[in-house]
Structure 1
Amino acid sequence: MTTVYPSIKRISGNNIASPIGYRAAGLHCGIKHKKNDLALLVSDVPANAAGVYTTNVVQAAPLLVTKEAIAKTGKMQAIIVNSGNANACTGKQGFADARTMQNMTAQQLGIEDHLVGVASTGVIGEKMPMDCIKNGIPRLEPAVGLKGSIDFSQSILTTDTVSKNTAYRVDIDGKTVTIAGTAKGSGMIHPNMATMLGFITTDAAIESKDLHAALTSVVDRTFNSITVDGDTSTNDMVVVMANGLAGNNTLSPSHPDWAVFLQTLLHVCEDLGKMIAKDGEGATKLIEVEVSGAINDTEARSIAKTVVGSPLVKTAVFGCDANWGRILAAVGYSGATLDPNAILIQIGSMTVVEAGEPVPFSEDELIEYLKQPEIKLKVDVHQGNGHGLAWGCDLTYDYVQINASYRT
């Protein structure tokens, strides 16, 4: 279960440049017809960095360039991002284009190439319109404050209907440490770190190896616990930069505030993950599945993600159908250790299955509940102390319409 730390505070006016020493920008360069499509995030000093990437064997050129850059020194100072074109499955030319974006950005900022990451999202298999990129990069003017951050968050979107931002502050060693994040994702979401990009900034002092361990741990419980449509993209990445400007003592697992830092990072990633799930293509409802009583947390998360990813569960929620049999079936094929005669299922606060058998419930009350914009399903398998959460959305007619005409 989640530990509560009173010192962790969500801040208003949250934006990717909230931590000390970050600037952001975004603009329209012509990849997309009208909307912003090119963005830049910069730290005033080289920051320790970590990334978690798609497990899809087919990986886009920008992702490979970013992975290589972080692996070189464990540091990053800027990341250039475009939407409207994924630069995936584009061969040698795509890799050269990603390198050009990295080099141009580095020259613009007066820093070394390996301190620049690259991220792209959009249509797969189309060459990057480099004339647009080359004209756009010199016009990017990163700034502190809300406007640059809003422009950044809007420039990374594809089929998203809203931008996704969050930020928290916490006291560490008597210093105020801020962690902020922005993300994009609406369809092709089934991360195994979809198309999903996440960018996190912090002014905390922490070494790259410990930052990577923290990010990996938190991503498993957040971004890897959401699903919209079961597809894992070629471009998924979550990148975090920590520039140390808050002035705290260097964080590590032996630091007395390590757990507080992890929990703050978890809040940021969970907020962004839930925003992505809620903004699933065509979605009308956010679905949260909570599983308890599994043999361990990993199996609990697996059950939860299987349930929230079931097309039949998702369509039942869309249709306000209290079809608990679909939930039970998904639990059964999750691959977890189970006793079918011990399972309890609740929809909202109403128990519909106990000890593996149906119990009487008010169909009318559950129909009214399922009309709400946020739906909670609870499963207790009574096998141990494992606990897990997963988030997704309903599956609607609009999802099919959006994806049937994505390229047109």
Structure 2
Amino acid sequence: MSAPPFDRTIRVGLLGCGVVGSEVLRLLTEQADEITARVGAPVLVAAVAVRSPHNYPAVDPSLLTTDSAALAADPTIDVVIEVMGGLEPARELLLTALNRGAGVVTANKALLAAHGPELYEAADASGANLYFEAAVAGAIPLIRPIRESLAGDRISRIMGIVNGTTNYILSAMDASGDSYDDALAEATRLGYAEADPTADVEGFDAASKAAILASLAFHTRVSVDDVHREGISQVSAAVIAAADEIGCTVKLLAICERVSDGSGERISARVHPVMLPRTHPLASVNGAYNAVYVEAEAAGKLMFYGPGAGGAPTASAVMGDLVTVARNKLVGGRGPRESAYADLPLQPIGDVPTMYHISMDVDDRAGVLAQVAKCFADHGVSISTVRQQGTGNDATLVVVTHTGVDSALAATVNELGEMTAVRKVNSVMRVANAE
């Protein structure tokens, strides 16, 4: 029995053909029949915009163009896939596509974290589809579950490892005792880290993803500038060893929470390294893998795990969005719109409750411990455990606090650094609980 004829074709324009774009193009070519069956119509690549066509000898020359603006504005292109990265010209190109009603699929987390509301508004005005599953955690289905599957639930917290480069580095340091520099060098050699790793190791990449997750989970506009950010470049082998001594490992986490206090509900969005108890599900996520832990009132605790980057995994997420957008194009449907009705205020990092692990070199003499304890008490910080290592000039005091507000803990650390009895504050690290 022959297949029924199709009354139309979905035409796709691809902005960018790098690591991810080339994989998308390959999947669209090699799996053309299956994609057609799933969509209900043929999906045809109409154009591929690149800067230098001669760098893409494997791509049909008739598809290549350097005029990305013309591709975005082409009324015959139904879906624009953006995998070029960066803020500009990506923002202008996607606005052009959305304003004329084209569906848009993007993997650009930085763009969404900085200009998401503007893109949403353009999509709403024209009735266009805007999908971005690949923008957070690569192939892991995460965006769709949060904004669709859990749309009827109330999410209270999201905590995740959303950057594979930093997780590889910290995992290597934990497993082998390597220094940060050695682990970074190995990550670069293996291709996990870029030649300039700043966006990863200083938390910029994770902060963009945290902004997207917080916006979706808490129905509030959160930009990357709203996210408190700290990286891992100051995490030493000594810090990793200290974490191990208290049954923890160090992870760079994106943490988005709904909190209630005397002023009502607020949300917290932050990225920083933490000492995470090894009993927590995220503690066993090693290498370049990502994982996100979601807590919701009705659904309970959910864990999403898998490869968070790479050409093929990210292309998988792009293709899933493409199939959905293409189906919507055929039937006149549209995907979820921006949900920002809650408009909750953000909690400053200074108001966030946390625990600190503090290591300091101190004078080994009578009364020093009392002085240190008084410093904590003066700031209203309760000490959970205290341990002295070594004697004489090698005396080190390690303090783990009870939960307190971050501003009080930070003020305590600042005062410790000014005390004559404290020769040096070696390290300060937040500690997460096991829940």
Query: Structure 1 or 2: larger helix share?
Result: 2
Give TM-score, length-normalised by structure 2.
0.28
Tell which structure's C-alpha radius of gyration is larger.
2
Give TM-score, length-normalised by structure 1.
0.29
